[in-house]
Structures are given as C-alpha cells and as structure tokens.
Structure 1
C-alpha cells in the first residue's frame, strides 16, 4: 500500500509542479481539462491534462520519474536507472498515442470539428536525465521537460494558422469530456486483500502514534497514551469511515466505529456536524460527503 501511495504521490506532485509552467501560456485563449478517465471500446483511457485551443489540442502525459530515463523504441519500453537499480516501464509515448486514438474517436462520435491533436510526454522531475535510442525519432518530437512546454505551445501555435473552434465550442468540448469522466474508485478491500475486521476502530490520536485510541470523556476525546485532548477528533475518524467504508452511516454504525458506549453519544456527534440525512429518527442515515469536501 505504501509503494502504491508513493507512486500516486509522485504523479500528483508531478502534475501539480507542471501548473507552474501553465501560467506562461495565454490563459484567455486556452481551456484546461484535468484528469479525465473515459470509457471507450471496452477500455478506460485517462488523460492527465488536455489543453484546448481554437487551433489545436495538446494531450499531456505527465511523468515525474527521477534518474536516467532511456526511451527504447525497439521494445516499447522506458528504462529508468536510479541509484544503480533499473526499472522497466511501458513507453509513455505509446500511452499518449493511445489517448490520442481514443480522444479522436470520442470527438468524432459527438460530431465535433476535426482539429489537430498533438501528444506530448512531459517529464516534470527536474532531476531526471532524458535519453532515447538513436533510432527513436518520435521521442525527440514528443518527449519534453517541463520548461519546454511554452516553447512547444508557441511552435504549434505558429504551425497551425486557422482558428477551427469558437470559444463556445471549446467550452462545449470540455463539458462533454467532464460529463464522460468516470473517476477510478476501486474496492480497496478487494484490491489489497483486506478484511473489514482488520480495520482499527475508534478515534485515533493525531498528536502521537496514529494507532493510539482516544476515549470519549464528557464532551471531549482524550488519548490513552499522550493524554492530549480534542473536541473535534471524531471528524477525521468519520472522514476515514467515508473513505474506507461508506459515505453513509447510521447511528449504530457510528457508535460501533467510534467505540462509543451509547447511541446517544453517536446521535449527538452526528447531529452536531449538521450533516444531511435521510429517513426517520430511528432509521436515519447520515451523509458524510460534506466532510470530504471540507
């Protein structure tokens, strides 16, 4: 789980760092579409960033790999060497070309104007060294480091003279893509082979070791280890419940998950958060979605 989290964090910080370079693009003439995942011909394809202009589109496949990166066209792979260790990844050039294929078909399906689409692989880690096999001509055209994004935009803008889309059509395309977006939300229990009874229940202390449980004392929570006190520790616990189990919770489920002694305590805590709910008093279900957005 920690390995997968590290990979996700690497991608997240890579995309976030690229936003520094977006500010050098003419924003009034551009619409950005971020992280859309769309189902097409039995397969989900995902685009990190799509830059929509009136003349052309740019698909950005963003990689935050550190180390020495070698693009190998003979075997369709990316070889990363870091601290003396070699790792093999699928060639991101092939990835972004697949995204181009799927996006073109989606645009055709909705009878949108035909517009040039330029795929790019953007290496966002400033400490990476990029190299390709001598025969891999596409790598020289498609792979760039983050600081070259503005240059590539200006190159495409000079190459394509005709305005194909109005700004209204650009907005329409972005709305269609976001409407088709199906975010990846796997069953993490199946994904990692975890049983529900393996979860640590109760309110965890944020001041010391995260496995230390806090007890409900009067109107507060008190850690059994460091004895710190909190009035709002239940909020993080309910966020964990929403992320790990369900965004809906009953009074009894709250009592069990927070290790409370009475249903009155859970009823008070849930109502104090002013959550939306459905059902009557006895069969009420509270919705935790608002906690995830706060």
Structure 2
C-alpha cells in the first residue's frame, strides 16, 4: 500500500483515503509489535503463539491477529492500537472514539473476535479435534488510550484489556481450565493444520482502489526529498532537487512495479517505467540484478519476484 501511496500525485482523488488506510495499517502493525514485549512474561513452555492466521471458511476468510494455543484452552487476541478516548456501547454494539475533539465510530472488536472464535470452533469440529475452550481478549496496545464502557456492557469489562494485563488474564484462564484437552501430539497437529490452511492476503491494491496503471507516477523516486523523480547520469541516479546520488535507487522503483503492475517486466517496460532513454542502459541495470528470465533478445522477460522477497 505504501508503494501505491508514493506513486499517486498529491491531487489524486484517492490519495487521502489510501494514506489514511496506510496509517491505520501501520498503527495496527506497531501495536502487534509492541505486544511482543508482554509475551515474554508468559510461561513459554505452556503455549504456542501464532500471528496473522487467515483461513478460508464457507467461501470467505477470517483472520486472527494472534492465537495462543495451550493444551487446555485457546486464546484469540484481537489487537487494537487506537488512541484517544474509546467508549464501548452495548446498546448499538459499537465503539466510539473521541480524538482531538472529533468522534468516530468503529466496528465493535468484541463482536469481531467472537465471530472468529465461532469459525475456529467450527474448524476444530470439522477436523475432528476434541472440544477445547476458545477464549478471547481485545487488547488495547496504545499506553495512552482511555477505555470506557456503558455500565451494562459486562462483556467489555471482561474482555477488553491493556497490554500489561495480558499476563494476569492468561493466569486466570490457566486456573480456570486446568485439565489438558490436547496432548503434545494433538497440539502439534492443530498448529500444522492452521499453518496448512493459512492463506496470505495479497490483494491487487490498484484494483482495490479502482486505480488504473496509467495514473501511477513513473520514474525512480528520490528517497531524500519527498519523492521527486531522479535522472540517470553516468551510472548514477541523481536528484536535481536535493543532489542525492545513488547507484541502486532503481531497485526500489522495480519493487514498486512488481507490487503494483506485474512481477514480470521486459526491457521496454522497464525503460518506460524508469524513464530511461536507451535499451543498453536498461539491459545493464537488469543484467546486474541477476534476475531469473525467460525468452531471448527483445522478447525476454525478467522476474522481479526475488526483489520483493528480499528483506
């Protein structure tokens, strides 16, 4: 999504929507990362931890942020990195956030995680695992968030916690469910099943936001000065705005191409996207990357997939 945000003009009608979605995604990712600190206080020999499991069920997908699997119970964690003042309203099953004087309504994560638990329980039944308790928590990872709920919303008081309370809640579930349901072998079998059923979410973001490929900004974008387009001069990419120079900045542009347009590229397509003026320069850059290729001469296509797999 960040590649798409970078490749759209500031005046594009979808720019702000995409930037907002990107901020929400980044915030959620940071929230999940921050929770790693609190996992260390859980007894490591008593559970298996899975992240981002996404499973197809009845022609749609459900995804769980984090799943703690123990021999006695399964704990499904829905993680939110919301800031501001969060109010859980059971009358209309909604969440209202007040931030900087503005109110915004969100889907209720309690209902969301309960639906996930239902699908997970059905999955266990379908694959003939023994019935095991499936619990849930909604974890607010932003340390500055203020959490409130209507006085009648007992589920919110029970299920919504801040990160530092995770250890205490885990201990409560451990004492509540003392009898092992899964053997070590069954636990491994269940983990293996989830890993097998897991399917990555890799949407075509241009299609998602209904953006055509010709709306994208082409060229090698300068990483130093707000993404102005760089020029290729004597073997270096050079920015005329800030004078930043690099030999490898085109790699980031090719990653954008792979993510937004296609993982396969020809010399002509590469030349057009990088705004190069000769076939020989383009060949030089592509050959230097040592990419897998098919075809020969003018019909040769280069596989950009190794670029986006790199860390």
CA contact (8 A) 2:204 2:260 kept: no
- Relative to structure 2, which stretch is displaced further, 229-238 or 212-221? 212-221
Which of 254, 260, 265 is residue 276 of structure 2 equivalent to? 260
Distance in 1, Cα, partners of 2:245 & 2:98: 48
Counterparts in 2 of 1:167 and 1:278: CA distance versus 1, 3 Å: farther
CA contact (8 A) 1:49 1:60 kept: yes
Alignment deviations for residues 265-288 of structure 1 (CA, whole Å, 9 cap, x no partner): 222211211222333454332222
Aligned counterparts, 1:88-167, within 5 A: 88-167=105-184
Distance in 2, Cα, partners of 1:54 & 1:87: 40
Q: Does 1:232 align with 2:243?
A: no
Question: Secondary structure of the equivalent of 2:230?
Answer: strand
CA contact (8 A) 2:140 2:161 kept: yes
- Any unmatched runs of 5+ in structure 1? none
Q: Does 1:289 align with 2:273?
A: no
CA contact (8 A) 1:31 1:171 kept: no
How many residues of Structure 1 are paired with residues of Structure 2 in the alignment? 293
Superposed displacement of residue 166, structure 1: 2.8
Q: Does 1:206 align with 2:213?
A: no
Q: CA RMSD in A?
A: 1.6
Distance in 2, Cα, partners of 1:45 & 1:101: 10
Distance in 1, Cα, partners of 2:226 & 2:84: 34
Superposed displacement of residue 167, structure 1: 3.0
Question: Secondary structure of the equivalent of 1:126?
Answer: coil
CA contact (8 A) 2:83 2:144 kept: yes
Counterparts in 2 of 1:171 and 1:281: CA distance versus 1, 3 Å: farther
Which of 178, 181, 202 is residue 195 of structure 2 equivalent to? 178
Q: Does 1:16 align with 2:58?
A: no
Question: Secondary structure of the equivalent of 1:174?
Answer: helix
- Any unmatched runs of 5+ in structure 2? 1-17
- Relative to structure 2, which stretch is displaced further, 212-221 or 88-97? 212-221
Question: Secondary structure of the equivalent of 2:97?
Answer: strand
Alignment deviations for residues 159-211 of structure 1 (CA, whole Å, 9 cap, x no partner): 1112222333323322322322233333222322322112111111122231x
Question: Secondary structure of the equivalent of 1:240?
Answer: helix
Taking structure 1 as the reference length, the TM-score comes to: 0.94
Q: Does 1:219 align with 2:235?
A: yes
Alignment deviations for residues 103-148 of structure 1 (CA, whole Å, 9 cap, x no partner): 1111222222221111111111111111211111111221111111
